[in-house]
Structure 1
């Protein structure tokens, strides 16, 4: 594989790894929000923002951690037939499924970007008592899908290298 492809793989995987490690701490943020919510409810002064903020934080946790999960191959795999294949056979099957994933992610990036632009143009708000702006979470969703698409291209490159008998 050419040097620029190896650099691309290192940069994308390094970025997704670091971002995933930061995103995993968002669970503690969610726990803090829910603890604050419980305390305010016990004190009979419930905060309006806690449930939606916990939901938005969970979306950020999931979307920003997903590329790292994809990189670590921690996704669910049906290995009834997969486990019996050789390394090259697995790489061929993975390349095929990654192409399908890339098609799906490209559609999701396009749709998420379109939704984010709409949210900016119309100052879209959530129809609730708190009424938060939706563009921040939509930016995170778009970025998450884009980073997953980049990680999927890295997986495809790794599969092609395995099929060719090369190491990255």
Structure 2
């Protein structure tokens, strides 16, 4: 049980630090979109703003996901779940988190494959007028999926400890 607690502590600490830092990315997105509006109104419209805002949103969402899972901010069907005992919640969460882990594993496999493709063929580029390289956002996505997978495993371990009647 000490190994589980150590894993939980380390993964939760890393995802908390990353999540707390990434949450300020909203200001970066706001700055990009503000510049987009200003440049379209007063100057020549920038080609990069829309796509850069999309990349920033992906990074914000993907890197903030593990922190959101850790804080319990994910959506649940509280119609039944809210009335259950902590032990029953842990039992149901133990089963459902296995589906999440499977899904994240498949997503990680596809993300790694896509990132390797991006590097192998001379740097895959977006088909837009700006034509940025896609490997940076793909690497961020793979890192975010790995962090989410680690956090999902941490949540599984927390549920196992709860089922055993231990405090987390």
Q: Distance in 2 between matches of 1:81 and 1:47?
A: 50
1:18 partner SS = helix
Unaligned 5+ segments in structure 1 are none
Instruction: Summarize deviations over 1:57-78 as a string: whole Å, max 9, x none.
Output: 0000000000000000101100
Deviating 4+ runs (over 2 angstroms): none
Structure 2's unaligned 5+ residue stretches are none
The residue matched to 1:81 in structure 2 has which SS? helix
Question: 1:44 Cα deviation (Å)?
Answer: 3.0
Question: Which residue is 1:166 aligned to?
Answer: 166
Q: Which residue of 1 aligns with 2:105?
A: 106
Q: Deviations over 1:16-53 (max 9, x none)?
A: 01101111111100110111111111223111101100
CA shift, 1:80, in A, is: 1.8
The corresponding residue for 1:82 is 81
Specify the SS of the correspondent of 2:82.
helix
Alpha-carbon RMSD across the aligned residues, in angstroms, is: 0.9
Match runs of 1:5-154 below 5 Å: 5-122=4-121, 123-154=123-154
Whole-angstrom distance in 2 between the partners of 1:87 and 1:44: 58
How far apart, CA to CA, are the structure 2 residues paired with 1:90 and 1:138?
A: 35
